[in-house]
Amino acid sequence: MFEIVIGLEVHVQLNTKTKIFCSCPTSFAHEQNTNTCPTCLALPGALPVLNIEAVRKAMSFGYAVNATVNQRSIFNRKSYFYPDSPKAYQISQFDVPIVEHGELFLDLEDDTTKRVGITRAHLEADAGKSIHEGAISKVDLNRADTPLLEIVSDPDMRSADEAVLYLKKLHSIVRYLDISDANMQEGSFRCDVNVSIRPKGQQEFGTRVEIKNINSFKFVKAAIQYEVQRQIEAYEDGYYEQEVYQETRLWDVAKGVTKSMRGKEDSADYRYFPDPDLRPVLVTDEMMEEAKKIPELPDAKVARYVDKLGIKHYDAVVICAQKEMAYYFEAMLESNIAPKTAVTWLTSELLGRLNKAGHDITESPVDAKTLGTLVSKIEDNTISGKGAKDVLDYMMESDSRDIDAIIDELGLAQVSDDSAILAIIDDVIARNQDKVAEYKSGKDKLFGFFVGQTMKASKGSANPAKVNELLKERLG
């Protein structure tokens, strides 16, 4: 009876080499307050200079989500006092963001897609970090002025699951574009959720509540579910007006609840105005053309895998969701193996083993070229599928990547030579004359017995298809 309305604001830390308004490195520094300079410390007289690399990355995001990239955008000053904000204002695009009116598509469970609008994406400077130690608070400004791209969605999501799908898609896109490390735990992909409810059929939106401080997809889901429940209960109990008002709440991981962060009356006036230290960002046609050169993105990849490679949609979505997985898959195909076989070996054999070891595809001890080569050995009958699994097991534990040597060492070479197999078959027949007689008298089931005996005598090295074929010949 209620419709859930969700919009998301995601802060993506761009992986530029230097900060957005000074030349300090963005790399992780062990020593606090060392990646700093007069500008990011906000010393008197220091001035910001825009890092064009951040602009390029924001633009490529714009093109990736089919958005408008504004040729002229503006940086504003957003005023608020906090110790980790050295200038006491954040430089952020307010009036005219660099990216507007985009969209992305969610892959729903039933293999259909759903469009989610992207209102805007704008560049801004990150704050430093506050470290609270009992009565003392410390400030580390290494992160201050790191470039952020804030991506704001339209309120198009209707469930916690859709919100998570949106985040995963967005995550996947920024990773494909290589514009961010997008690590939620480390804070380079941060998410604020806006949630409201309204009775089904009602046109106007309910009161929007913002939830901050959510650092995993799992918590996003939990936080939305909790907040929706809270709002529905308030509505049903007749306390909606009193309990649900426009505010910012925090997700309390330990308690599994959202908590009010600041009061209703305390809505901040950021006093935005154009930053006079920075000229408007003017994007040249050449920059536009350059930024349009983006890699193949998940949606296009899925379509290609399905249409050109004949892979199941579901498998394609799974593989394309993660850039590293898709690139691994494509590298496997360079060994000229059947795409469907490659899917099986990647998603069940390799991932199964990696999951057991608690590894991600990026941490796989076996690289794509090696796995592709191994699969090609099945296809050219050098080894059996089972033999290949043994080789993979072996490689998971050892450093050797010489597949031929491993096959030799494990004695897995498959015999496809007719005369060699026939010799074994003849031997098996000679030793089992009684069974031959039974078979010939009509006990067809015994065929499996002869296959088994032959395979056993070959120590598994005989090509099973050949064994079948030759046995049929011999047994008549």
Partner 1 sequence: MITLKEALTKSKEELAEIKTEIEKLARESELNAYIGFESSGEGVPILIKDNIQVTDWPVTSGSKILQGYIAPYDATAITNLKKNGMMAFGRANMDEFAMGSTTESSYYGITKNPHDLNRVPGGSSGGSAAAVAGGIAIAALGSDTGGSIRQPAAYCGCVGFKPTYGMVSRYGLAAYASSLDQIGPITQNVEDAAILYDAISGHDPKDSTSAEHERVSIAANLDGNRKLRIAVIDNYIEAASEAIQKAYAETVKALESAGHTIVHKNMQNTKYDIATYYIVATAEAATNLARFDGVRYGRRAEGSNLSELYYNTRSEGFGEEVKRRILLGNFVLSSGYYDAYYLKAQKVRHLIRDEFGAIFDDVDLILSPVAPSVAPIIGSIHDPLDMYKSDMYTIAINLAGLPALSLPVGKDEETGMPIGLQLIGRAFDEQKVFDGAYSLEQTINYKN
Query: Would you give the distance in Å from CA 376 to the centre of its chain?
Result: 28
Regarding 45 and contact with partner 1 (CB under 8 A), the answer is: yes
**Non-local CB neighbours of 221 within 8 Å, separated by 6+ positions:** 160, 161, 163, 164
* Side-chain half-sphere exposure of 16, counting CA atoms within 13 A: 29
Stretch that binds partner 1, among 83-91, 291-299, 346-354, 359-367 (CB under 8 A): 83-91
The amino acid that residue 436 corresponds to is V
Regarding 48 and contact with partner 1 (CB under 8 A), the answer is: yes
Q: What track of x and - describes contact with Zn ion for positions 36 through 55 (by CB under 5 A)?
A: -x-xx---------------
**Maximum distance among all alpha carbons in the chain?**
102
**Non-local CB neighbours of 309 within 8 Å, separated by 6+ positions:** 333, 339
Q: What count of residues does the chain have?
A: 476
Q: Say if CB 461 and CB 411 are below 8 A apart.
A: yes
Q: Which residue's structure tokens are 């606090």? A: 32
Least distance CB 130 / partner 1 (angstroms): 10
28 binds, among Zn ion, partner 1, none (CB under 5 to 8 A by kind): none
24 binds, among Zn ion, partner 1, none (CB under 5 to 8 A by kind): Zn ion
Per CB under 8 A, the list member of 25, 27, 38, 402 interacting with partner 1 is 38
Per CB under 8 A, the list member of 19, 57, 77, 171 interacting with partner 1 is 77
Q: Say if CB 383 and CB 377 are below 8 A apart.
A: yes
Structure tokens of 114?
A: 């759903």
Q: Which of residues 262-321 bind partner 1 (CB under 8 A)?
A: 269, 271-273, 276-279
63 or 75, CB closer to partner 1?
75
Q: Which of residues 72-111 bind Zn ion (CB under 5 A)?
A: none
Q: Say if CB 412 and CB 390 are below 8 A apart.
A: yes
265 or 444, CB closer to partner 1?
265
Regarding 52 and contact with partner 1 (CB under 8 A), the answer is: no
Per CB under 8 A, the list member of 52, 88, 282, 357 interacting with partner 1 is 88
249/196 Cα distance (integer angstroms): 13
Regarding 476 and contact with partner 1 (CB under 8 A), the answer is: no
Describe the crossing of helices 160-177 and 298-309 by its angle, rounded to 10 degrees. Answer: 90
86 or 387, CB closer to partner 1?
86
Regarding 127 and contact with Zn ion (CB under 5 A), the answer is: no
360/348 Cα distance (integer angstroms): 14
Stretch that binds Zn ion, among 33-41, 101-109, 394-402, 433-441 (CB under 5 A): 33-41
Nearest to 337 by CA among 307, 371, 387, 313: 371
Query: Would you give the distance in Å from CA 112 to the centre of its chain?
Result: 20
191/183 Cα distance (integer angstroms): 11
475 binds, among partner 1, Zn ion, none (CB under 5 to 8 A by kind): none
339/332 Cα distance (integer angstroms): 9
410 binds, among Zn ion, partner 1, none (CB under 5 to 8 A by kind): none
Regarding 17 and contact with partner 1 (CB under 8 A), the answer is: no
331/340 Cα distance (integer angstroms): 14
145 or 330, CB closer to partner 1?
145
**Non-local CB neighbours of 433 within 8 Å, separated by 6+ positions:** none
Regarding 87 and contact with partner 1 (CB under 8 A), the answer is: yes
Per CB under 5 A, the list member of 4, 22, 325, 374 interacting with Zn ion is 22
44 or 442, CB closer to partner 1?
44
279 binds, among partner 1, Zn ion, none (CB under 5 to 8 A by kind): partner 1
Stretch that binds partner 1, among 8-16, 40-48, 221-229, 381-389 (CB under 8 A): 40-48
Regarding 24 and contact with Zn ion (CB under 5 A), the answer is: yes
Structure tokens of 252?
A: 């309390």
Regarding 178 and contact with partner 1 (CB under 8 A), the answer is: no
* Alpha-carbon distances, residue 193 vs 94, 104, 180, 256 (angstroms): 19, 17, 20, 16
38 binds, among Zn ion, partner 1, none (CB under 5 to 8 A by kind): partner 1
451 binds, among partner 1, Zn ion, none (CB under 5 to 8 A by kind): none
Q: How many CB atoms lie within 10 A of CB 358?
A: 7
35 or 153, CB closer to Zn ion?
35
79 or 113, CB closer to partner 1?
79
**Non-local CB neighbours of 358 within 8 Å, separated by 6+ positions:** none
Residues found near partner 1 in the complex (CB under 8 A): 38, 41-50, 77, 79, 81, 83, 86-89, 137, 139, 269, 271-273, 276-279
Residues found near Zn ion in the complex (CB under 5 A): 22, 24, 37, 39-40
